[in-house]
Structure 1
């Protein structure tokens, strides 16, 4: 038989890893709903022209074609969505008459990008988004609220601490215009590469691609290197003695964001003026984040304010949202054994089979336990009890159930303690009812 070669960029977890994934997703769902966000799911495909209309490049899109389609049969060119924001825009437009605004939605789904797979980057992966979308207007306070939702969600995951780094597009745009740079979008894209390529390359790109003078490039880098956990960044920017209405407005918003967020969750948001976000549709606050000790992984949660992404020509639907790269986080914590489940199966009890003539009794016992919410497996063989216990131990199943001449008994194979029990009342400890996540051995 020919060896099956794995497809890179399409992560698949072993059962233990899948337990980690499911608990992470469950935690995110529960937290988003605690913050009053409703769940939606959108289709996997969108028209390619819509996908291309939001500043993305065609190389990121997987096209969808039928193998047997004849010429001209597939009139609409479709592609798999590469994020959940573009589908949200279309969803809001199609359903605006049925939605209550501001519309608070969360969405946890797979997306696809035609990128070169590498550490933390996949061609198929899960994102978890939260957005608030308004009709015609959206209050600024949501730009403070949304990063705090993500800080709350991420703090409940079994991962290192995540801090949100924030900036404001108005600050960057106003600053660039004040120093005489006219191609703001290209400048933002170049600055967005700072962590990847370093100051020297960014300077070279600014001078080459936006015709920045050495002085303009220097000032652009000085702005990008400003970080602060409080509002002191505003004084540093004021020291440049540059002024514009857009710059002043952006500074006021960024100060309000940093002070407002940290008043509610201290240390949750840091002002970081190099945060640019390369996508064209962001217009206000922008966010990125990294896991402490895993900065090499890049941003694990990002997003921003957008005012013109969603419009039908008559109405606009401004919004603000953030997205967690769930698969990026999982690949790191599973691959580096940052966390591990206490067992690799959901099973709490293995019911031993004395011999095959008694299997029906074992199955009856299992059904009785399952009715009370206890995950139960019946031993696949009636081998010697020692082998059945080893079977349970390999899977991390904590209890083995025996039917004996003296009645029903349960053995905790971790301690070796075996006690008589009543099938209708026995209950394992709450901590044993499902696998728990704990720090792995790195």
Structure 2
């Protein structure tokens, strides 16, 4: 595979028991799931140990659970699949998975309590070290959208300041690096980091800490409601987040990982699923410095499991009995088209300046959210056939910064009709 080849993968959702499969781990079932993922022509999976099951006590990281994770990674290798591992789960599909030693009678802030932080470092380092000798181990993600614990709308948040969040992320990434030096260690937030004024996890943290910037693109955030299933803003939302993230990156060619993107029904119904999939991927693949795409998710959630939000049941590329769905066939076809090809899209030479206030804090980032002035201007430019990059307003007249990114024209929001 060329060094600059795109990666195509899936977030692995086990067909038997969902992520509760760790309670009744069945390697044959896992192998069958991985066979169906590999049959799509994908090259990697992202997997999710459940934190309370792997570390049920602050000083107990269950060896058997770690062995099962290693067995999963080895089974993936046998099928030509690389593996990225999320550590602190954390939050998945509307359910929280936090160990008892952080809740109720042992209530402690997961971002600031010294004992909790030490336990998290030990846990992440243990998982990374267990996998460091596996050639198909890509690296760790600190946790899945763990920023949702830091404030509203979470019903029981762990408050944290911006500086505390940055220090916490730094320590977690360092623990991963100590466990598995030189791997692709990242952190990942849901889009409050990009869109919510005052949120303690910030665009600067996302774009400057870790080996790459991870973005999660979900159009049920108001985009599809406002623009419809086939609107330009809806079909380009993933590309928008990729380009938005680059405004804060210190490295002009920092890789961006589209770590989650999917087809949420009923906002994107069956009639539009394939079109949305193809259009989303086409727009994302037109972004320079894209590392790869990891679709959410591999398999549908079984209807035998209760209490999921309705949209969560049908997000798979494959059904719960491992049959390929139309969107899965579309992803497989696009992955095949790109196999072995270098990813070198044209530079985006026109940029739209985003003014959110000082870059580190980004106090006015709600202009970037669906319905915000910047978001709507970027979508309008895209609808007119422009390929807009994004530059911070404070750098919009910096010749060295613009030259490093290949930007030759900078527009402002008032310039966009």
- TM superposition score normalised by structure 2: 0.23
Which of the two has higher C-alpha Rg?
1
* Higher helix residue share: 2
- TM superposition score normalised by structure 1: 0.22
